[in-house]
A and B are shown apart, each in its own frame.
Chain A
Amino acid sequence: MGNLRSVAKALEHVAPHVPVEVTGDPERVRAAQRVVFPGQGAMPDCMRELDQRRLRPAVLEAARSKPFLGLCIGLQMLFEESEEGPARGLGLLGGSVRRFPEARMFARDGQRLKVPHMGWNQVYRSGSHPLWAGIPDGSRFYFVHSYYVEAHDSALGAAASRYGLEFTCAVARDNLFAVQFHPEKSAGAGLALLSNFVHWNP
Chain B
Amino acid sequence: MGLAKRIIPCLDVNAGRVVKGVNFVGLRDAGDPVEIARRYDEQGADEVTFLDITASSDGRGLLIPIIEAVSSQVFIPLTVGGGVREVGDVRRLLNAGADKVSINTSAVLNPGLVADAAQRFGSQCIVVAIDAKRADTPSGWGVFTHGGRNATGLDAVAWAERCAALGAGELLLTSMDRDGTKAGFDLDLTRAVADAVGVPVIASGGVGELQHLSDGILQGHADAVLAASIFHYGEFTVRQAKDFMAARGIEVRL
Contact = CB atoms under 8 A, between A and B. Distances in A.
A133 interface: no
Nearest to B197: A114
Chain B: number of interface residues, binned into ranges: 35 or more
A190 B122 contact: no
A118 B200 contact: yes
Interface of B is mostly: loop
Contacts of B201: 114
Given A3-B99, A142-B77, A186-B75, A114 B2 contact: no
Among A115, A140, A163, max chain B CB count under 10 A is at A140
B77 A114 contact: no
B246 to A, nearest CB: 13
B3 A163 contact: yes
Contacts of B3: 113, 117, 119-121, 143, 163
A41 B221 contact: no
Contact of B75 (A2, A145, A185): A185
Interface of A is mostly: mixed
A112 B198 contact: yes
Chain A: number of interface residues, binned into ranges: 35 or more
A184 B75 contact: yes
B99 A119 contact: no
Interface of A: 2-3, 5-6, 9-10, 12-13, 40-42, 102, 107, 111-122, 138, 140, 142-146, 162-163, 182, 184-187, 190-191
A71 B120 CA distance: 19
12 contacts: A2-B121, A5-B97, A6-B97, A116-B200, A119-B6, A119-B200, A144-B169, A145-B124, A185-B75, A187-B75, A187-B76, A191-B75
